Amino acid sequence: MTDARSTPRATPCIEFDDVVAGYKDFMILNNLSFAVQPGSITLLIGPNGAGKSTVLKTLFGLLTPRQGKIRLNGVDITGIKPSVLLSQGLAFVPQGRNLFGRLSVYENLELGGITLGMKTARERIPEILEFFPRVKERLHSRASSLSGGEQKQLEVGRALLLRPRVLLIDEPSIGLSPIVVQDVFKLLRTLADQGTTVLMVEQNVKSALRFSDDAIALESGRLVLHKPAHAVLADPNVERLFLGGAHPGTALDSDNGRLL
């Protein structure tokens, strides 16, 4: 963890200030305000449809807020396009599959670094591949031929090629085996300890909390909790918080925090 986190007056890396945003006339985020400290991992939790992905999409400029401000390192970025935000060090790994399946692994990485210029992108590819040995072995295969988990690793690697200052990552563990999930969380922890700010949505709540600094819970687009991750893990009401007010008796898988 960086010193910046423990300095109360450090400018937050990410700030949502009374944000209202959604799709067409249907607002999903309701007067959402929160701040994320630099060099931290913040986990966004909440039930399906709570608006977690919408937070990341709004932050990345894919949706324009109807109201409120979004700031990156104190600078107002409300309404700024994704391509501009990318060049300012914000990277986004969306939910689902987002590769060029017919292109090779290597070509996908090159395209991820296109804004850097091809020379710099190619120079950085080897260092990224060191994190992901399975992907490295398949460098000249079509991306679509990789397993689901390998594809996700490639997506994360492609985002890291930009050496982002802020990484937004939506459900990185989908399709990954438990060991690879731990590796991805460890990698995110290493990046955060080196100064990258991470805002992550993840269904493996308990596991992800162990690698996170803070947790934010949403319900119907409203913030219902913002606490240190360790405090959420220690909270006797933790199941109720994870379930977002679901019926008592709905169970959590004690191994990975998933809803059963």
Ligand X SMILES: Nc1ncnc2c1ncn2[C@@H]1O[C@H](COP(=O)(O)OP(=O)(O)OP(=O)(O)O)[C@@H](O)[C@H]1O
Q: Which residues are within 8 A (CB) of 247 and not within 5 positions of it... i.e. 6 or more apart?
A: none
Using rule CB under 6 A, residue 23 touches ligand X:
yes
Q: How many CA atoms lie within 13 A of 9 on its CB side?
A: 0
- Per CB under 6 A, the segment of 49-57, 116-124, 184-192, 204-212 that binds ligand X is 49-57
d(CA 178, CA 156): 17
Select 49 or 228, whichever has its Cβ closest to ligand X.
49
Using rule CB under 6 A, residue 51 touches ligand X:
yes
Q: How far is the CB of 252 from ligand X (least distance, A)?
A: 15
Direct distance between the N- and C-terminal alpha carbons of the chain, in angstroms, rounded to an integer: 33
Residue 89 interface partner, choices ligand X, Mg ion, none, CB cut-off 5-8 Å depending on type: none
Q: How far is the CB of 58 from ligand X (least distance, A)?
A: 9
Q: Give the binding site for Mg ion (CB under 5 A).
A: 53, 95
Using rule CB under 6 A, residue 237 touches ligand X:
no
List the 197-201 sheet strands across, edge first.
Answer: 90-93, 166-170, 197-201, 41-45, 214-219, 222-228
Tokens 């594809």 correspond to 151
Select 110 or 155, whichever has its Cβ closest to Mg ion.
155
- Per CB under 6 A, the segment of 47-55, 110-118, 206-214, 231-239 that binds ligand X is 47-55
Any bridge partners for residue 23, and if so which?
Answer: 26
Residue 51 interface partner, choices Mg ion, ligand X, none, CB cut-off 5-8 Å depending on type: ligand X
Select 6 or 48, whichever has its Cβ closest to ligand X.
48
**Position closest to Mg ion via CB:** 53
Q: How far is the CB of 229 from ligand X (least distance, A)?
A: 19
Select 53 or 108, whichever has its Cβ closest to ligand X.
53
Q: How far is the CB of 94 from ligand X (least distance, A)?
A: 10
Using rule CB under 6 A, residue 180 touches ligand X:
no
- Per CB under 6 A, the segment of 44-52, 83-91, 190-198, 245-253 that binds ligand X is 44-52
**Restricting to residues 85-144, which ones interact with ligand X according to CB under 6 A?**
95
What six digits make up the tokens of 179? Answer: 């060991």
Q: How far is the CB of 89 from ligand X (least distance, A)?
A: 24
Using rule CB under 6 A, residue 241 touches ligand X:
no
Q: Cβ–Cβ contacts within 10 Å for residue 237, how many?
A: 9
Q: Which residues contact ligand X (rule: CB under 6 A)?
A: 23, 28, 46, 48-54, 95
